[in-house]
Amino acid sequence: MTHAAIVKAARGVFEAAGAEPVDPDYILPSDIPLELSGEAVRARLCVFTDHRGNEMVMRPDLTLPVAGMEAARLASGVNGPKAYCYAAEAFRLPAASDDPMEFTQVGFEWFGKDSTPYEDAEAFALVHEAVRACDVRPVAIATGDLAVFPAFIDALGLPRVTADLLKRAFRQEGGVRALVEATPVPIEADLVPTLEAATPEEAETAFREALQARGIPLIGTRSVSEIIAGLRARAAALAAGGLPDTVREVIGALAAVNCTASEAADQLDAIAVRYRLSKASAAIDRVARRMELIRDLLPDLKAICSFRSGFGRRFTYYDGFLFETLGPNLSERQPLASGGRYDGLVSGLSNGRATATAIGGIVRPDRVLRAKGRGA
């Protein structure tokens, strides 16, 4: 199959499922993906300044601009579920030396459907129907659920500031480990004015002045507001007494969950039982039921599905089930298909003026070709 034939085959599957074809804006204000992408992805964004001095970015995927379209539709007063599909270009600096900067994504986004394990499994099955239509067989499928860690943290009954700090750290690769292993250190004196500032503007000014006094340039992929939020959470957690040993044990046990997808619910349940975290049962039940449905819909894929508790944090707008499908001749950083749930994104993009459940998935034709042993 040629690249064009793969695009046609995958797009045909998504169109047959009733999705409306779209090709949304190529260019977005940079604050949207900068706020909603994990640090590893932010470093790969194609950012530029337009003729008016505004910082803009080429769309790094199709989910963000399509979700923006849906947020605008719902905010205008039009209601009801909606499904979109596309075969369009996205732009990111390569994750691997042999990846292109510009590539095609063929995918779909569903909004307003029920947010249940059945819809998760249905979306997963649709992506893999498209993969089959491209005449390629997966060699491994990595899955995760970004709702599991917050559910366990909530079940621990921690002070809100401590729970929020842990949840925020979870969205950063290695953030929880650094937090758990760190020795509690008081906030530095020159950062106290940042914490005591009355407004966000005053806090940012105080923080920049502290950096300037230290001679430290502001480099990296986290925004000033994110750094300040982290400082506030750290100070609040210190005031609340830090992390109890039980919390450290639970986090360590969760981090060790790396198994077949069929074993995931049992391993999570064992942790919940050991530490008497009955309030985490709903999240665990969802993991179990989803895998049962995937097994029923696609029994041939059961053997290659794995589950890892920390999987899937590169885009921070995802908040539930995620998966990446790997093929031959590709590294673990180069899935040929992927997808996930992001029920909170529409609300975030519309500043709370609209809400909608959401899940989507994509196929990468260039990687399908490489999985077949051919160059893109």
Separation of alpha carbons 265 and 371, rounded Å: 31
Q: What is the pLDDT of residue 194?
A: 83
Q: Is residue 129 part of a domain?
A: yes
Q: What is the pLDDT of residue 39?
A: 58
**CATH number for the domain that contains residue 38:** 3.30.930.10
pLDDT < 50 regions, the chain: none
For residue 77, give the 3-state DSSP assignment: coil
Q: Is residue 297 part of a domain?
A: no
* Same structural domain, 140 and 47: yes
* Same structural domain, 8 and 112: yes
Beta bridge partners of 340: 322, 360
Q: What is the pLDDT of residue 267?
A: 97
Q: Is residue 327 part of a domain?
A: yes
Name the domain count of the chain: 2
**Could you list the residue range(s) of the whole structural domain that residue 179 is in?**
153-243
Question: Residue 44's CB: how many other CB atoms inside 10 A?
Answer: 17
* Same structural domain, 71 and 139: yes
- Minimal CA–CA distance to 10: which of 154, 136, 178? 136
* Same structural domain, 48 and 124: yes
Q: Is residue 183 part of a domain?
A: yes
- Minimal CA–CA distance to 344: which of 86, 150, 165, 90? 150
* Same structural domain, 234 and 318: no
Tell which of 183, 208, 243 closes a domain. 243
Tell which of 201, 222, 243 closes a domain. 243
Q: What is the pLDDT of residue 175?
A: 65
* Same structural domain, 105 and 159: no
Separation of alpha carbons 158 and 70, rounded Å: 36
* Same structural domain, 142 and 9: yes
Q: What is the pLDDT of residue 296?
A: 95
Question: Residue 325's CB: how many other CB atoms inside 10 A?
Answer: 29
How buried is 329 (Cβ within 10 angstroms: 0-12 exposed, 13-18 middle, 19+ buried)? middle
Q: What is the pLDDT of residue 171?
A: 74
Phi first, then psi: give them for residue 97, nearest 5 degrees.
Answer: -60, -25
Question: Residue 218's CB: how many other CB atoms inside 10 A?
Answer: 12
Q: Pull the structure tokens for residue 57.
A: 């970015």
Q: What is the pLDDT of residue 210?
A: 83
Separation of alpha carbons 64 and 92, rounded Å: 14
The answer, as to whether pTM is greater than 0.75, is: yes
Residues composing the chain: 376
* Same structural domain, 22 and 129: yes
* Same structural domain, 74 and 123: yes
Residues 6+ apart with CB under 8 A from 114: 357
Q: Is residue 287 part of a domain?
A: no
* Same structural domain, 124 and 157: no
Tell which of 243, 270, 296 closes a domain. 243
Tens digits of per-residue pLDDT, 50-96?
Answer: 788 888 888 889 999 999 999 999 999 998 999 999 999 999 888 77
Q: Is residue 15 part of a domain?
A: yes
